[in-house]
Each structure stands twice: as structure tokens, then as C-alpha cells.
Structure 1
């Protein structure tokens, strides 16, 4: 009899990289809460933004995400052990004592540390996502009791494919050669070559994730190894509480931006199917993949696509419709304008909408602020919004197909009790209820707006609605007045154009000076 999931993790020592990231911290919380007998969770943390590794670990433990597990067992954080280091440093920058402890005791590695910025320069993305992964794998091959390594990739690692299967694909370029190029090549030359190097992918994130998978596969003969490829990761469905989200990446930024009236248009093919997975399902999937890998001890790499495919089919149009519905029910206290706008199917209509509903209002507001002696901000905000939308729109204007049989079969390998705890079946999701919780979660955890502010927010939103209607009426009245007052100019322009066209009537028998040849011009 195979052990249950909680039984397997009993007494285990787990190393997590990227433990303060969105997936990393959710993974730490889930292990502490649902695998209470796990022995130790090692967290590789670096100093950042003036905070030491110790201070960052303390901040992590104080995060609201851990409220449930903290109330259940206040002493549970003693299971967390800091490994001060950095994946950008040789040897991960860890001490000899920490290295020796990991080599002796570590049983499972979850490698989730990565740069998720899509606009990162190639050299930086390679150093973080590829070279950093190599350093983790090199440490892993020195561990004496290692049972499973899980590398977190992305379902969008091969965007040129019509269908992504749960298997390995040969990299466009040898990852070791790319790492070598990024090491010695001049920055300006590398920037010049970057578009050609990554032309198979939309950005450096997807490109480095693709080549890194090939690098990971090199180590499959040395220890049990698996790759998890989640699609777009969004707010929690159930755990530790519905709607939890703490970053503005992807759809969350779109949800908040539109709710605050900053985003009023985006390019999207509305009937295309969206593929986004709640963070708690991604984390449960990672825990189960590591569990299955440790039990099976495969000699080749295992791949799991953590996606909605074959489970739920929902269009971008439906998601946006539900988001708009709940944003109006649970509005933001602080907002630029009343939520509005819509999606555009054609690039040219979207550009027009961006000009009139994003750029003109931004320059108008900043001009007023400048004249009042206040600090301007909206033009810069709109530039960042436009950049973010340009990245997201690549994924909303293409149909994606992912095979995920390996992922779906995970729930068949475990007991009913384990399935209740480490749920990966998304069929029961009520999308309307989920979007309601998503809006509330983004409002509370990203925008730091307490639910108690909702009554005031609703009053302010009614005022914004009235102002929005008044401005629209004023705009159309002004437009009609301009057309009416300038009708004579308009009529004169039409008459001038008409007379000009008549003057260009067919001209015949025009003799060429050079060769006396007769030409006939027909307009």
C-alpha cells in the first residue's frame, strides 16, 4: 500500500526556492497546514530592497496568507529554516554548513524561483531562469537522500505549437550555449541579436523557460525529476481562503485596472477559450507531482500540464463579463473613474479606443494637475498599463490547446480524503462565485481595502457614475455644437473638393515634348 500524501511528507525535509513568490509562499502555507508532520522546510532567501534574509523570512511569516495555520498552530513556523543565499550567485551563495545540511538531509526540492517579467533583457532572464536552475540542479546531484525534484515551468513555454503535450520538446537552442553567449557577449550586441534568438517565443520569459526545460532533462538520469507547467495562475479557489491573491500580474492587474476606471479597452478575441488556474490548485498539483515522482522514481523526466483543458471551457468574453458584474457590486474606494469600456476584436479599433479613452484623459488630467502645481502621474500610469496590456493581449488573441492527462490522473492515484485536502479537480468550480471572490480578494489583498469600506465605496461609485454620464452628455453636446457651428466650413470644403475633382476631368490630346507621342489621361 502506498502511503497517503500526508504520510509521505511526514518527517520529510523540503527545500523551496522562490519561497516569497506567489506560488512559493502558497506552497509553504499548504505544506505547513496540510502536512503538519513535515520535518523541515528550507527556504532559500536573499537580501532584497534593504531587508536581510532574516527580515524577509519574518515578513513572510507575518503575511495574512498564514492567518489560518497561525491560528491552528502558532509554533508551526519553527519548521521553517532559512538558507541565506541567491540563485544568481555561484554555488547559490550558501554557506558550507547549510550546504552540508542540505546534502545530508534534503528529500524533496520545489524549484519555483524565477523571473516572471516578460520584458526582462535576455541576459538577465537567462541568468535568473536558466543559470539559476542549473545551480539548483548541481546542488541536487550532491544530495544523499533526494527523492524528488520538481521544476516549475509554464504551459506557455512553446507558444509556436498548436498543441502542447505532456512531453519534452527539443529546445530551439542549446541552453548551455545560450548561457555561454550571455556570459561573454557584449550587452549591446546581445540586445541586437535578442529578437532573432527568441523569435519562436513572444518574450524572454517564455524563451528561457523553454530552453531551461531541456537543461533540466539532462539531470533526469541522476535523480527522480518532474516538470510542472501551469497556465496563467490566478486567485485562490478555496485555500487558505477564497479569492486570495497578492500580485498584479496578468488578469489580476486587468481586473483591478478596469475596476478603477484606468483600463477601458483591450485587444481580445472574445470567443477564444481562456486557460487560467487558481493558485491553490497549482500548489496542490505541485505537491502531488512531487509525491508521485518520489513513489514512481521514473528514469525519464515526467511532465504535467496544470491547465483547464478538458475540464472547463470558458471564454474571455464570459470572464470579462463576470468581472465587470462583480466590480460594480464591490467597487473600489479609490478609483480614477467609473468602470466602463469594452474589449476590441480588431487592433485598429483598439488603438483608436486607447487614444480617446486612455491617452487623451491621461494628458488632460496631468495638464490640470500641472496647472494646479500638483505632481502629475496619469500619463506614466497609462504607459505602464499600455505595456502590460500589450503583453497580456498576446495570450488573449490566440487559441491555446494543452494536453493534461498526466495532471488529471493525479486525483486517481490518491484517496478520497487526500483528494479533499489536495484537490485538483476543477469541474465543481462555480465561475460566477469564483469571480465574485476574485474581485473581493483583489480588492482586499492587493489594494488593501478592508471589506468595511464597501458602503463608502458604493456611495463614491454612484457619484462617479453620475459624473461619467454628465461628461458623456457634455462631450456629445460639444461634438454636435462643433459640427453645427462649422457646417458652413464643412460645406465649403465639400464644394472645394468637388470643384477640384471637376477640374481634373479627362485631358486628351496632350502632346509629349520629348517624342511627340500623344497620351490620353483618364481620371
Structure 2
């Protein structure tokens, strides 16, 4: 019981970062420019580079929000539990973050001339992590954020006098029109270059561009993968003269160990599905359990990003005429993760740490037939949704369940392409980079996927999900377990009534048939 309610702790939390390793020496007194710093991966990268190195400063591209200045947003970031260990060990780390006001949706990233000059004069490392990750983002917007911003940043990087490394964060699924993906460029899969696509979009405008989404995307299943593939083409065509590389992570999920296990701050991808099941809302899943689950912990992604910049700087003068290297990052055959393993592990852990916010007993029916899925959601989602909305109406409360289920089905529908196809990846460059690290750097900047204990990882992920997304502390688990058992009894009663009613109806029908004259 103590293990279930204890604070989530990282295995390496007390590890001291003695500044002696090659990677740490590389970052000492360096100035880094990071886009996407307010995102999930960006936050973890900021925390790690500040905690593990003596970097001089990190310029982050950030925009003010309606009710928050950029300084307010950075302060809020540092008050997140993710930064607790950093704040304890390096209380002045916050002063190393320097905001650059801008927005990737704007031309030239919305950066002022003064700030551009600052970046040109002072930056040595560029990390381009910003992107819209919405699969159904309107094409015109996705092009602006994912492609034009990349091109603008590449042009800016060419002017940076002391540039040593540029890391472009792409996706393992950027080129998902193919199902075996190596660490190479797939520009032949595109019918247009990044530069020409952006020019056409500007010429046509938002309405016409968005109307032609299907024609432009071609075989790409959505605007996200299409624009990420175009951004890679931009890196190849515009960035060849730069010390640059591409990092292609799989599906980025909660931290493995650093700076604390199981940390997450969003409900993208599998986390949204898991949270929906945990709350008793999502009950039918369309998944091929024999396919690979290409999950990568976000802290390992940050470590690999730090290592690729170091390696890119080191190799820049050795291989100047080769295409920029690409680093795929997914579980490999040494520690492969299947969707079925993911499901079984979660089924075993979930009853030990339920939510106090459950609306029904959590369960999930997994099917690999789209037809069966559509039939089952009628009975397990839509009809119950109408029943709940009717009860809410009787109580004088706002109806919401049917609307919620429509939204859920729309969001999960965009994942069908990735459910129906199996992808394999090669990771020669990533593996070679890992083996090139010293034993100290391997310890400090671990991205060895074979070292992950998936059973322990998903246990911590569930604890992290309920704590950081559900806002439920570990000491609420006993209360949640009581609710879990009450809902289980209610669930069994409903099952008995429904199955009994169906059997009774069938019996009555059969009797009527045989008694007919």
C-alpha cells in the first residue's frame, strides 16, 4: 500500500552533475535559442539543460497571452513540479532564461529586428522544436507554423556568426506514406517543395488553400504529417550549408526518470485515450494489438536532443558535403513494445490507482475491426450519452455527454491511419551516437531505450497521469478504490439487467415463432 501512495520519485534524482563530461563541456557558457520552449518537450529540454549543464543562457521564443506577459508565463513554468529539483539545486537557473517575443505563425517568427540581431550575434546552438501537433489543423495554418517558420529560422541561422549546431525536431511519422522508415530523406514522396508550397499558399490565401487540402496532402493522412515532411525537405534544401541535423521521435509520452518519473502536462495521443478510459468515459478502442507501440519517454528525447547538437557540432567539419544526418528514435528490437503489452500492463496497474473523478467503472473493449468498432460505440458511447444527457436535463443541468462523444470520436478518428498500418524504423545513426558517448555521458544523458523497464514505466505513468493531469494526490487512492468497487458492482448490475433483458427478448421471440400457427 505504501508503494501505491508514495511520492513519484526519479531513480536518478540525487545524481550529481559533475561538469566533466564531453557533452557538458560542449554546453558550458554556450547560448542556445529554443523554439517550442513552452511545449511538453520544450519544458523538459529546458529543465534538463539547466540542471545538467552550465549553459550560459537559453533564449526561448515565446508570445504573451491575453492575461499573461511572457515573464508571467516563464514564472508559471518554473513553478511547475517538473522544475522543483532544478529550483532546489540551482535557485538562480531562472535568470538564464531570456524571452524572445515572437510567434511561429508570423513571418520571420514575429521576432523584432533588435532581437534578431541579438540572436545573430550571440547564439551558438539552435533547437527548433515548435510545431502544431494537431492532425486536423487547417492546412494554411499548419504550413505557416510547421514549414514557413522552419524556412525562416533556417535563413536566420545562416546569419548567426557563431552557429555550431542546429537541431530540427521532426517526427518519426513525418513520412508515414511509407511503412519502413530509415534515417534518410524521402523528398521523392512529395509532389512539391516546401518553398513552392508556401508560395502557393500565400498566393491562394487561407480559404482556397484549406479547400484544396486533400489534393495537396495526397497520400499523407493529415496536414501534420504532410507539413512535417515538407519541413524536412526544407532542411535538406536550405540547410545543407549549416551544421544541422533532424531528430525524429516517435510518440512522445511521460518522463521515464528525470527529473521525476511519470511527469506529463498534456492529453495528446495515447495519454488522452488512457485518461478517457480511466474516467470511465471511453469504453471502446480501435487498436491492432500486434502492432508496435512506438512510444518514447520525453526525458530521453531531451537527452538525445542534447547529444545530437553536440555530435553535429563535432562532425560539422568532418563531413561537410553529406546530407544533414537524421536520428530516428523509437523502441527497437532489444526492448520492443507492442500495443498488447501496453494494454496488459495498464490493465494490471489501473485497479491499484483509480481516479476519484470516475463517472463509471473503467473498462475498454479493444477491437481491430472498424465496422465492429462503429457498432459497439453506438451501444457503449452514444446511447449511454443520450441517457446521461436526459438525466442531466431532468436535473436542470447542461447536457454534454453526446457532444463530448462526438468530439472524442472525431479526435480518435484521425488516428485510424496509424492503427491500420504497421511501421518499422531503422536507427543506425541513433545507435552509433549512443555507442560514441563516454560512459559518463551515457549515464548523464541516457537515451538507451533498451534500459526501460516497461512494467515499472507504465506504473509511474499512471501515477503521473492521475497526479499531474487529474490533479489527484497519491493519498486519494484509498478513496478512489472505494469508488472503483462501488462502480464495479453497479456495472455488474447493469450488465445483468441488459443481458437478462436481451435473453428474455430472444426467448420471447423464439417462443412466439414456434407457437405461431
Say whether residues 1:32 and 2:55 are aligned partners. Answer: no
Equivalent residue runs for 1:304-383 within 5 Å: 304-383=327-406
- SS of alignment partner, residue 74 of structure 1: coil
Structure with more relative contact order (C-alpha pairs < 8 Å, separation 6 or more): 2
Equivalent residue runs for 1:390-405 within 5 Å: 390-405=413-428
Say whether residues 1:439 and 2:439 are aligned partners. Answer: no
Say whether residues 1:106 and 2:123 are aligned partners. Answer: yes
Say whether residues 1:10 and 2:33 are aligned partners. Answer: no
Answer whether contact 1:262 1:336 (CA < 8 A) is retained: yes
How far apart in 2 are the matches of 1:178 and 1:491?
A: 69
- Deviation per CA, 1:87-140: give whole Å up to 9, x if none: 222332223332222111100000000000001111110011001111211211
- Cα gap change, 1:127/1:489 in structure 2, threshold over 3 Å: closer, same or farther? farther
- Deviation per CA, 1:221-251: give whole Å up to 9, x if none: 3320100000111111111111111110111
What residue in structure 1 maps to residue 15 of structure 2? none
How far apart in 2 are the matches of 1:221 and 1:428?
A: 34
- SS of alignment partner, residue 262 of structure 1: coil
Answer whether contact 2:21 2:441 (CA < 8 A) is retained: no
Say whether residues 1:167 and 2:190 are aligned partners. Answer: no
Equivalent residue runs for 1:243-282 within 5 Å: 243-282=262-301
What residue in structure 1 maps to residue 305 of structure 2? 286
Cα deviation, residue 355, structure 1: 0.8
What residue in structure 1 maps to residue 83 of structure 2? 66
Answer whether contact 2:21 2:440 (CA < 8 A) is retained: no
Cα deviation, residue 191, structure 1: 3.1
How far apart in 2 are the matches of 1:284 and 1:45?
A: 22
Cα deviation, residue 484, structure 1: 4.0
- TM-score normalised to the size of structure 1? 0.91
- SS of alignment partner, residue 450 of structure 2: coil
- Cα gap change, 1:49/1:322 in structure 2, threshold over 3 Å: closer, same or farther? farther
- SS of alignment partner, residue 218 of structure 1: helix
Answer whether contact 2:108 2:149 (CA < 8 A) is retained: no
How far apart in 2 are the matches of 1:12 and 1:144?
A: 13
How far apart in 2 are the matches of 1:209 and 1:490?
A: 61
How far apart in 2 are the matches of 1:188 and 1:95?
A: 29
How far apart in 2 are the matches of 1:5 and 1:356?
A: 55
- TM-score normalised to the size of structure 2? 0.92
Cα deviation, residue 483, structure 1: 3.4
Corresponding residue pairs, total? 492
How far apart in 2 are the matches of 1:294 and 1:186?
A: 39
What residue in structure 2 maps to residue 513 of structure 1? none
- Residue 237 of structure 2, aligned match among 218, 230, 241: 218
Cα deviation, residue 192, structure 1: 3.2
Say whether residues 1:126 and 2:146 are aligned partners. Answer: no
**Higher alpha-carbon deviation: 178-187 or 25-34:** 178-187
Cα deviation, residue 388, structure 1: 2.2
**Higher alpha-carbon deviation: 96-105 or 148-157:** 96-105
What residue in structure 2 maps to residue 54 of structure 1? 71
How far apart in 1 are the matches of 2:414 and 2:74?
A: 32
- Deviation per CA, 1:52-105: give whole Å up to 9, x if none: 222211211211110111111111111111111112223322233322221111
Cα deviation, residue 39, structure 1: 0.3
What residue in structure 2 maps to residue 516 of structure 1? none
What residue in structure 2 maps to residue 242 of structure 1? 261
Answer whether contact 1:230 1:306 (CA < 8 A) is retained: yes
Answer whether contact 1:172 1:211 (CA < 8 A) is retained: no
Answer whether contact 1:14 1:107 (CA < 8 A) is retained: yes
User: 5+ unaligned residues in a row in structure 1: which ranges?
Assistant: 496-523
- Deviation per CA, 1:428-453: give whole Å up to 9, x if none: 21111111111111111111111111
What residue in structure 2 maps to residue 88 of structure 1? 105
How far apart in 2 are the matches of 1:107 and 1:286?
A: 15
**If you compute each CA radius of gyration, which structure gives the higher value, 1 or 2?**
1
How far apart in 2 are the matches of 1:244 and 1:195?
A: 37
Answer whether contact 2:23 2:307 (CA < 8 A) is retained: yes
How far apart in 1 are the matches of 2:111 and 2:513?
A: 75
How far apart in 1 are the matches of 2:205 and 2:124?
A: 40
Say whether residues 1:463 and 2:486 are aligned partners. Answer: yes
Cα deviation, residue 489, structure 1: 5.2
- Cα gap change, 1:192/1:82 in structure 2, threshold over 3 Å: closer, same or farther? closer
Aligned Cα RMSD in Å? 1.7
- SS of alignment partner, residue 139 of structure 1: helix
- SS of alignment partner, residue 338 of structure 1: coil
- SS of alignment partner, residue 88 of structure 1: coil
What residue in structure 1 maps to residue 249 of structure 2? 230
What residue in structure 2 maps to residue 150 of structure 1? 167
Say whether residues 1:477 and 2:496 are aligned partners. Answer: no
Cα deviation, residue 380, structure 1: 1.7
- Cα gap change, 1:156/1:49 in structure 2, threshold over 3 Å: closer, same or farther? farther
User: 5+ unaligned residues in a row in structure 2: which ranges?
Assistant: 1-19
